[in-house]
Structure formats: structure tokens, C-alpha cells
Amino acid sequence: MMPPRQVVVIGSTGYLGSRLIPKLIERGHAVTAVVRSGSRARELTGCRIVHADPLDAASLTPHMQVGDTVVQLVGVPKPAPWKGPQFRAVDLVAGLASIDAARAAQVGHFVYVSVARPAPIMKDYLAVRRECEERLEASGLCATILRPWYILGPGHWWPLALQPVYRLMERFPATHDAAVRLGLVTLHEMLTALVWAIEHPPASRCVIEVPEIRRLGGLS
């Protein structure tokens, strides 16, 4: 167990956030869950709940303090190639707002979930996540960036049908690297990697790719 941390989760009622918060509380961390007004937060227990607009830095900053760990998880559900306008309206605006707020509050560590690259069929999604990564690097914040490709879990099982294709691609040198970089990770692996990232802030910047997410997921 690591020393308890003050963790601010933005996107706390979403697919990852709602599952991450209980794990953090179990490990003794103090969690502030940022939710939008009118959002369903009844399932969130054991944490401090605050209402703010995740698309507005000025709304977020008052809920962050010097030394906090901020976890940014806001995004369009079930990303798909045709959701480019939504990515720019939600993922990009929320990502930039969170980074700007964290910088203004001088938080200690920023954890951001990006996407594996390159990702040709998800170019709009990748462009948005890359722009947020660039803003994060320019901010000077201590940051950990996780780059999964697809997270298997409840309601997200269909890529299991692709596993034979992945195994075949991993066997050939020409396709091995791409198959590993764009490999599937489980919800358990992703959550475990997020907890590890929160508990192990880097000296400046750390990027966790799919193979490392899988490795960290096997530690628990």
C-alpha cells in the first residue's frame, strides 16, 4: 500500500471513473468526485462529491488543491470513427479544461487516458487525444499518460471475436508490433494500471502503452 493521496476524478460517473473510485477508496485514498449538475451520483459512496462543469476550467479549478492528483476520464462513450465532431466538442474541450484548471491549481500529478498510436481508423479521436497530450506537456505538470486501444468489459465484449486475428498477427514480424501496440486490454488491467499510475507519480512525465498496461494488470 502506498501513502494515501488526494485524488480528484473528473468523469467520475463514467465507465472507468465509477469503477476506479471504489478501488481508490479501498486503498485509503481520499477521493473528490467531480460530477455535472443533474448527473446520477447516487452510486458514488465514500467520497466527496462536488458539482462542476467538466468543459469549463474556471468551474473545475476551485475543486483542486496544490499537490492533488487529478484523473481526467471525460469522453464520448463507445468511441467510433464517425464521432469526430463529438470528440472535439467533448473529449477535447474537457481535456483542455482539466489541464488548464490543474495548472492553475498547481496540482502535483495529472493522469490522462489517451489512445494507442498510430490509430488510422480513429484519426479524429487520435488527433483530439494528441492535442490534449501536447497541452499537458506544455503545461509543465507532472503527468502520466495511459494509451490503451480498446478496453474489454461489460458492454464492450465484441472485439473478443478479433482475438484469433491478433494472435495470427503477433506471429509475423511485419505485423507483430502493430498487433501488440493496438492490443486489447481488459477492464481489470486498465483499472489496475490507473491505480498504479496514481500511486506512482513520475519525476516529470510517463507514458504507459498497451504492453505495460497488461503487465501492470497482472500484478494484482
Tens digit of pLDDT for each residue in 168-218?
Answer: 666 767 666 665 666 788 899 999 999 999 999 999 999 999 999 998 987
Cell triple for residue 20?
476506479
Q: What is the pLDDT of residues 43-68, one digit of tens each?
A: 788 899 999 999 999 999 999 999 99
Tell me what pLDDT residue 113 has: 97
Q: What is the pLDDT of residues 142-165, one digit of tens each?
A: 999 999 988 888 876 566 656 666
User: How far is the C-alpha of 114 from the C-alpha of 67, rounded, in Å?
Assistant: 22
Who wins on pLDDT, 121 or 74?
A: 74
Tell me what pLDDT residue 156 has: 67
Grouping H, G, I as helix, E, B as strand and the rest as coil, residue 35 is strand
Tell me what pLDDT residue 149 has: 86
Grouping H, G, I as helix, E, B as strand and the rest as coil, residue 64 is coil
> What burial class does residue 168 get, using C-beta atoms within 10 Å of its C-beta: 0-12 exposed, 13-18 middle, 19+ buried?
exposed
Tell me what pLDDT residue 150 has: 81
Pairing of strands 30-35, 6-10: parallel
The pTM assigned to this predicted structure is 0.90
